[in-house]
Chain A
Amino acid sequence: MAKREAPEINAGSMADIAFLLLIFFLVTTTMDQDTAYLRKIPKKVETETPPSPTQDKDIYKIAINSNNIIQARDSIINPEDITSLNGRIKHFYLANRGKKTNRDIHYPYYAYGSVALYQSNMDEQITRLNNLLSIENPDENTLKRITQAQGAIDQWRAKLEMAKMYSKYSGKREMPEIAFQAHIRLESFNDTDYSAYIAVQSEIEKAITELRNKEAEDLFGVTYTTMNNQYQQQITENTPEIRMIRERMDLIETLFPLKLIEVKPRR
């Protein structure tokens, strides 16, 4: 029997099927992306300990009242001039950076750490730990001191690694670190508009990101934003490249920390 040719399938309704799918996706999806400012709420504290006193020079206070008028330190800023906040916040961070004398007493001071300093601090803690461990029959107090010393060693080790990385890439021996109490304090009223609050958050974010981007560009030749995007996309993969990006981001975040305290409104 002669082989019969297979009849061609009619593809005329293929377009209809594709249209149906297309319309389904058009209806069930949205174009707009969800974008937001990520923030942390501080952990709740079990025991009421009075907060350690912070000097005025270390606080950058921004308050927004119920008429959406902004007060940044001593200046009143109208909503239309809000973009000036960017420069003000940058100045708060940079006023004393790199200065050891002639510091402006109204802005946070910087500490200058070096590899040698952190190394000696760590060695000191290691000696302390060894002394504590050599005590026979340790009592409760000693055990507490041992965990304390171990924590301190970890802290200095992390600092040491950062200082090494900083001097490797910048060629400088000393790493400038802003006073750890330095922070931005954002106060609002019960009737402050969400948009005004977001505008201030935006200005803070912009100032910090610009500072970080510049620093990252100088050190690694890549902006902080680029590194962060890459990190967020691949956070679940534990590759050496991602670990390296995380370390670099940690260094930049230590150099320019975003410490923002959002105060619960009282009025």
Chain B
Amino acid sequence: MAKFRKSSGGAPPAINTSSLPDIVFMLLFFFMVATTTKEIDPMVKITNAQGAGVTDLTPFKQRSEVDFVYLGEPIQGDKDRFYKGVAVQYDGLLPADGINYIGVWKQDKFKTKPAEFTAPKENVITCFKADERVPMGIIFSARSILQDLDFNSIAYSAQEMGNLNTYNIHTK
């Protein structure tokens, strides 16, 4: 039976991988479009608060009109070192005087913005990314410091909860 005779031994034919780069490039472009660059590595633990009807900050980020302040328990080190156990992270910094450093930081940041950045002082948003258990007193101290320095735009960070309709409020 010549028809079914095994073809003369040897290695199986190689798989054609010439379209592999195309597939990988496709994945690459997907991730380039769907993600945004990471600002910094977090040094504080943050569980986002939930809310509906939040504003997307991406257009503001593209115009570098927004500065982020992170508030929460420190990931490393003793949390009792900080007032009420809440560390405040400015870019890569966890200063010991916590929220009172915000004035110095904001002014430095505003001075070092690039020349093409034209938004006036009162339109530069300070976004508070706070853990859900952060007491509001701290944020209000920051508000009064910012008010004295004429930084009048702020934002309270929250995660869009969609149709879940459950706020995670803890009763004490």
- Nearest-CB residue, chain B, relative to A29: B35
Interface string of B11-34 (1 = CB under 8 A from A): 000000110110011011001101
Question: Which residue of the partner chain, among A17, A35, A190, A233, contacts B136 with CB atoms under 8 Å?
Answer: A190
- Contact of B45 with A by CB under 8 A: no
Query: CA separation between A83 and B20, bound complex, in Å?
Result: 51
**A195-B132 in contact given A31-B35, A66-B172, A264-B143 (Cβ < 8 Å):** yes
- Contact of A265 with B by CB under 8 A: yes
**A30-B172 in contact given A35-B158, A197-B136, A202-B52 (Cβ < 8 Å):** no
**A264-B144 in contact given A11-B21, A28-B38 (Cβ < 8 Å):** yes
A19 contact set on B, CB distance < 8 A:
24
CB <8 Å contact, B157 and A193: no
Interface string of A67-87 (1 = CB under 8 A from B): 111000000001100110000
CB <8 Å contact, B171 and A68: yes
- Contact of A198 with B by CB under 8 A: yes
**A265-B167 in contact given A33-B56, A44-B148 (Cβ < 8 Å):** no
Q: How far is the CB of B124 from chain A (nearest CB, A)?
A: 12
Question: Which residue of the partner chain, among B20, B136, B152, B169, contacts A265 with CB atoms under 8 Å?
Answer: B136
**A39-B169 in contact given A34-B57, A34-B61 (Cβ < 8 Å):** no
Question: Which residue of the partner chain, among B137, B153, B154, B157, contacts A35 with CB atoms under 8 Å?
Answer: B157
What is the predominant secondary structure among interface residues of chain A facing chain B? Answer: mixed
A35 contact set on B, CB distance < 8 A:
54-57, 157-160
B76 contact set on A, CB distance < 8 A:
none
Q: How far is the CB of B27 from chain A (nearest CB, A)?
A: 6
CB <8 Å contact, B169 and A79: yes
CB <8 Å contact, A205 and B35: no
A232 contact set on B, CB distance < 8 A:
55-56, 59-60
A206 contact set on B, CB distance < 8 A:
52-53
CB <8 Å contact, A30 and B152: no
Query: CA separation between A264 and B138, bound complex, in Å?
Result: 10
Q: How far is the CB of A100 from chain B (nearest CB, A)?
A: 32
CB <8 Å contact, A68 and B170: yes
What is the predominant secondary structure among interface residues of chain B facing chain A? Answer: mixed
- Contact of B37 with A by CB under 8 A: yes
- Nearest-CB residue, chain B, relative to A35: B54
- Nearest-CB residue, chain B, relative to A18: B24
- Contact of A209 with B by CB under 8 A: yes
A144 contact set on B, CB distance < 8 A:
none
- Contact of B94 with A by CB under 8 A: no
Query: CA separation between A35 and B61, bound complex, in Å?
Result: 11
CB <8 Å contact, A31 and B34: yes
Within 8 A of B (CB), among A39-86: 39-44, 66-69, 78-79, 82-83
B61 contact set on A, CB distance < 8 A:
34
CB <8 Å contact, A36 and B37: no
B36 contact set on A, CB distance < 8 A:
29-30, 33
Q: How far is the CB of A139 from chain B (nearest CB, A)?
A: 33
CB <8 Å contact, B21 and A37: no
| Other 10 A-B pairs with CB < 8 A, given A33-B57, A35-B57, A188-B140 | A18-B21, A31-B35, A34-B58, A36-B155, A67-B171, A68-B171, A191-B137, A193-B136, A199-B50, A206-B52
User: Can you name 15 A-B residue pairings with CB atoms under 8 Å?
Assistant: A14-B20, A33-B58, A44-B150, A68-B170, A79-B167, A193-B169, A194-B131, A197-B136, A198-B51, A198-B132, A198-B158, A202-B53, A205-B51, A264-B143, A264-B144
Top 10 A-B pairs ranked by shortest CB distance? Answer: A190-B137, A202-B51, A195-B132, A29-B35, A36-B155, A18-B24, A35-B54, A199-B167, A79-B169, A14-B21
